């Protein structure tokens, strides 16, 4: 279930206050490949083990926030560093 447009209009990164937008399918696929390889940890240091279906990408493209069952998880320690 995609994040509603109304919610997207008010969501920002809790760390930098940059806007977020839905991640492209290619970004989600890359994240899932890294999860499958056991090569991905969130910023809190926890290994990710289950694939994601969607995420919100910070405006600068460096951080992804996972969307879990239509609910954005906007916690810095749960986010994924992309670069």
Q: Cα(6)–Cα(25) distance, rounded to whole angstroms?
A: 21
Question: Domain range for residue 70?
Answer: 5-81
pLDDT given for residue 50 in this prediction:
95
pLDDT higher than 90, residue 79: yes
Q: Which of 13-17, 20-24, 25-29, 79-83 has the lowest mean pLDDT?
A: 79-83
What pLDDT was estimated at residue 83? 72
Q: What is the CA radius of gyration of the chain?
A: 12
The tally of domains found in the chain comes to: 1
**pLDDT tens digits, one per residue of 28-78:** 999 999 999 999 999 999 999 999 999 999 999 999 999 999 999 999 999
Residue 16 has pLDDT above 80, yes or no: yes
């Amino acid at each position: 279930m995609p994040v509603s447009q109304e919610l997207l209009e008010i969501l920002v990164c809790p760390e930098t206050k940059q806007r977020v937008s839905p991640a492209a399918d290619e970004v989600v696929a890359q994240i899932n490949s890294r999860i499958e390889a056991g090569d991905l940890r969130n910023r809190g240091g926890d290994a990710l083990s289950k694939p994601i279906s969607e995420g919100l990408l910070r405006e600068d493209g460096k951080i992804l926030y996972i969307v879990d069952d239509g609910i954005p998880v906007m916690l810095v320690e749960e986010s994924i560093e992309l670069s």
